[in-house]
Structure formats: structure tokens, C-alpha cells
Amino acid sequence: MIKKLHLWAGVIVAAYVIPHMLNHALGLVSLDAMEAMRRAIHIIWLGPVGEVILFGAFLMHFFLALWTLFTRSTLRMPAWEAIQILLGLLIFPLILVHIAGTSGVRHSLDYEPTYEYVIAALWVADPMRGVQQAIMAVVVWAHLCVGLHFWLRMYAWYRAALPYAYAAMILTPVLSLLGFSVIGRLLSVRAEMDPGYLGRLFGPIFVPAMADMVAQLKLVEPNGWLVFANLTLSVLIARVVRHYWRRRHGSHAIRLPDGRKIDAPNGQTILETLRINGIPHASVCGGRGRCTTCRIEVGEAINHLPAPSEVEAKALARISAEPNVRLACQTHPVHDLAIHPLLPASATARDANKPGVMAAREQTIAVMFLDIRGSTRLGERKLPYDVLFTLNQFFAEMSAALSETGGHYSNFTGDGLMAMYGVTGSIQDGCRNAVKGAAAMLARLDELNRRFANDLPEPLRMGLGIHCGEVIVGSMGPPTAQAFTAIGDAVNVTARLEALTKDFGCALVLSEEAAAHAGFDMSGCEKRTTGVRGRVGEINVYAVADPRALAALA
């Protein structure tokens, strides 16, 4: 919620700053053009509601920036991020005199600060203030552009429009300052030709009755600087206190792929820990949970990590990440863990929305193969679109069964699919859940056959094979179409077991090894010893007529 508030407060301020800067550029046309647009803008932003929203958004953006600075465990960060933070902090003290000279004058002295008044005050009466405000305008614009750029660069449409965006980012402040200076020179000439010009312009303000109020407005800037210095110093002191407090309340260790082990206090994100230790790691969005380039694979440690926040969960869902993939910038471990970065440290915004990839690793899992019986005859008797509809309905039901039993879809082969169990958690749970998954699939198949009773010449049937063993698990395939799958002897054996359901006349062929890990009582199932095509030796299997009866005993 804090990140969202920080972002949208900035967007509200940007919605005011952008037309305000363009308003300055109208000075290249005329003072009347500037004033006409100012009045239009002020109807929206400086009415009773708009002003509260604008100043509330500005203060919220500033204080949330201080909060973000406090919550960071390290000040090590990419250069662009440091520049954005520094520029954002500088806005508050630089803009104080502008706020006092415009909003303060409007509300306290009941005087409308027109462009003629503001430019004459900054260009003619006090040129050094004019230089300060020009610097402030550049600082505000630079902070705005950096923030918008690193927010939007994950979107393909923005990357396509980037040349035009760069042009707008550069031309807008240039034209704004030029417009301001053109009117400034005009008013300078007017003041030189008419010695009483400034007196008449500022006369309604500098009258004896307003002296006390004007003196109070002049104190806004020095007092604001004092507040700014105290707030900044307080945040820095609080950071030191928090650091020592964290060290006293537990720590954890992070093991890197190269074997290095680094210690970190609890409460610190993985990305912060890596940065503190000078270890390069991708983070295009600066650790805000938007880009997913800091994604890591955490293996079995997923069972000991806090659940993903809403921001992280949405980001991971966007890239279809596997369950044991987390974002380093959003994960706060409290137990030891090993991590595997899934993108290189040089990853760019173009990598932000690529499907989640997982570092290949050896792991013992349960593998399931499923195949529809008689799918060729189905294609012979129905139109292609009807066959496609039927298969889509079938795979939707099988996918739902996988999800509800903890399985992971791997790939399909037209009329069958491969799934994995135990990718997270123990192999015992994986084998047990695989049998439960087979039971759930058969139950859903019966329901599907009831729905299609009048559309199919005969009910759909399927065979399943389940085996377990050590395989290589990871994302494989072409870079643009990778799939999370497994390869190894156990995968090949499972495919052969599924094919044996035709010979054994059963719904499931379950290997003895998988049954042992699952801990099922197999006394009611037929045990067979069979050879596996393409593999030396024989294995013991169980021919299971109905896995639902077996799963019910679990």
C-alpha cells in the first residue's frame, strides 16, 4: 500500500507539473497566453478540492520518500536510483519560497499571484531568486522524468515511443525556461521605462497593514529548511538504530550458486543483502516489485519463507513463475536458504515480462503421464473444431485437478500431458499427491463424460503412469518458448508405464518405488514385474484399476 501511495502521489504531482511547465513555454507567445492557461489550470488544481489534493499528494510523496529511505537496509543502489532520491529530497527545500510567494500570498494577503507578478519578482526585483527557481524547475522536472521513465520502461508501448519521450523530456524544460526568460526580459524593459511600475505591481502587498503577514511569509523558507534538515537527520539516525536492532534480533545465511555464504539480519530483503555485499543482481525497477528481473529460485526454502505480498504475487503471476520462484526485492527471509538468480545481473527492461525461467537442477520428483484412449477415432468421427473444443475442455479439467492436488503441468502431446509432483516439498508428499491427482482426474473425466454424453459416440477414457526418481528439473527449450519440465530416466520410464495401461487393462500403472514413497497399502492391487522398452532390466509395478479407491485410504 505504501508503494502504491508513493507512486500515485507522484503521478498526481506530475499531472500538475507537466501542464505548468508547458504553461511557462507559452511565454514564447505572449504574457496574455501564459495568463489564460494559468487561469484554466488553477480552476482545476487551485480550487477548494484541487489544492488539497495537490498539496496532500506533494507532502505524501515527500514523506513516503523519507520512509522509503528509512526502510532501505543499504544506500548502495544504481546511479539512476540515487539521483532520483537525491533530486526528490531537494525539491522540498527549493520549492518553499515558491509556495510562500504564490499560495501564501493568495491565502494570507488575498492577492492573486499572476504571471506578471511572479516573473517580475523573480526576474526583475530579485534575480538570484529567479536563478534558484530555475534550478528548482530543472530539479523537479528531472525527478519527474526519471521516475516516469523507470516506471513506464517495462511497458512495450513506452519503449516504442521512447525517442519521442526523450525529445519531450528535453524540449519541455528548455522551452519552459525560454518562455519564462522572454517575459522576464519584457518586464525588465517595462520596469526601466516606467520607474513606478514595480511599485504599482507590488503595492497591494507592501502596505503597512500587511507588514506582519509579509514578515511571517518570509520565515517560511528558513523554517522549512530547518524542518527538512531535522527530518533528514532523524531518518539517518533511525537507520543506524534499526541496523543495530536487527542485528540483535536474529540473522540468517544466504548461500550463492558459487558456494559463497553471506550472513544477513532478519528483516532485510535478499536484494538488499546482495547489494550490501557488493554482489551484482538484476533489479530494473529499483526493488519496487514491478519488473521481476530480480527473480530467484529458492528451492525447498519456499516452505520457510513468508507468503508473497499482493505486489509480489501479481508480479510472479504475470510471468507464470513456478511456486519456488520469488522476487529478491520483496522477500524477507528469517531462515538459512540457497538462492539461484534466474536472470543475469545485466538484465534489462525487455526481460521484465519474459516467462519465469528456473535454473536447472537435480531433484527427486514424481512424474505423471496421461493419455486419452481412442483419440484417433474421436478425430475421425467429429469435425476438427469439435475435436478441439472437446480436448480443450478435457485439458481444462485435468489442469484443475493438477492445481488442486499440488501438481505442476509440464507439457502436452496433443492427446496427453506430462505433470510433475514434489517439485516443492518432500518426495513422499509428491508421490502421495500424484496418486490423489490421478484420482481427481478420473473423477473429473466421469463428470466430463456426463456432460458430453449426447455429443460423443463413446465415453472418453484415459491411462495414467506414475513413477519417481532423480531427474533434471528446470526451464528448457528455445529462449522465446521455454517450458518448466524435467528430463531423465524416470521421465522415460513413466511414459512407458502409461503405455502399459493398455496391456494391463487398468487406469493407472504405479511403480513400486513411487508406491513405497507414498506409503499406500497396495495389498488390493495386482503387482507385476515388467520390462520397460528402451531400458535394460525390469521393474515392479502395480496395476491399479481405480486410483480413487487407493487415494481414499491416504
Question: Are 170 and 304 members of one domain?
Answer: no
- Counting the structural domains of the chain, the total is 3
Contact 146, 80 (CB under 8 A): yes
pLDDT at residue 423, as a whole number: 81
Question: Are 200 and 262 members of one domain?
Answer: no
- Domain of residue 45 covers 2-236
In a domain, 356, yes or no: no
User: Looking at residue 525, which CATH number applies to its domain?
Assistant: 3.30.70.1230
Question: Are 432 and 523 members of one domain?
Answer: yes
Contact 204, 75 (CB under 8 A): no
pLDDT at residue 367, as a whole number: 96
Question: Are 383 and 434 members of one domain?
Answer: yes
171: region left, alpha or beta (phi > 0 left; psi from -120 to 50 alpha): alpha
The three-class DSSP label of residue 543 is strand
Question: Are 388 and 291 members of one domain?
Answer: no
Integer Cα distance of 372 and 375 in angstroms: 6
Nearest to 465 by CA among 430, 502, 496, 444: 496
Cell digits for 500? 502399459
Integer Cα distance of 71 and 329 in angstroms: 12
In a domain, 169, yes or no: yes
Integer Cα distance of 444 and 458 in angstroms: 16
In a domain, 531, yes or no: yes
Domain stops at, among 351, 379, 408: 351
Q: How many CB atoms lie within 10 A of CB 175?
A: 17
In a domain, 179, yes or no: yes
Per-residue b/e over 249-275, b at no fewer than 16 CB within 10 Å? eebbebeeeeeeeeebbebbbbbbbbb
DSSP, residue by residue, 290-358: SS-TTEEE-GGGGGGSPPPPHHHHHHHHHTT--TTEEETTT----S-EE-EESS-TT--GGGTTSPP--
Domain stops at, among 329, 351, 373: 351
Contact 546, 442 (CB under 8 A): yes
**Block residue for cell numbers 514385474:** 529
Question: Are 397 and 316 members of one domain?
Answer: no
User: Looking at residue 289, which CATH number applies to its domain?
Assistant: 3.10.20.30
In a domain, 188, yes or no: yes
Question: Are 432 and 544 members of one domain?
Answer: yes
Integer Cα distance of 506 and 543 in angstroms: 6
pLDDT at residue 543, as a whole number: 93
Question: Are 337 and 422 members of one domain?
Answer: no
pLDDT at residue 299, as a whole number: 79
Question: Are 123 and 264 members of one domain?
Answer: no
pLDDT at residue 463, as a whole number: 94
Question: Are 73 and 207 members of one domain?
Answer: yes
User: Looking at residue 165, which CATH number applies to its domain?
Assistant: 1.20.1300
Quick one: three-class SS letters along 456-506? CCCCCEEEEEEEEEEEEEEEECCCCCCEEEEECHHHHHHHHHHHHHHHHCC
For residue 403, give every residue at least 6 positions away whose Cβ sits within 8 Å of its Cβ, in sequence order, or none.
Answer: none
Backbone φ and ψ for 292, nearest 5 degrees, come out as 70, 5
Question: Are 428 and 346 members of one domain?
Answer: no
pLDDT at residue 358, as a whole number: 52
In a domain, 516, yes or no: yes
pLDDT at residue 342, as a whole number: 83
List Cα–Cα distances, 191 to 123, 125, 201, in angstroms: 11, 10, 10
Question: Are 176 and 317 members of one domain?
Answer: no
In a domain, 244, yes or no: no
Q: Splitting the chain (554 residues) into consecutive groups of 10 residues, what average pLDDT does each group show?
A: 83 93 95 94 85 91 89 80 88 89 84 91 91 93 91 83 92 96 95 91 77 81 92 92 81 85 89 90 84 86 87 85 87 90 79 61 90 71 74 88 86 84 85 93 92 82 94 72 80 92 92 92 88 82 88 65
In a domain, 242, yes or no: no
Domain stops at, among 351, 374, 408: 351
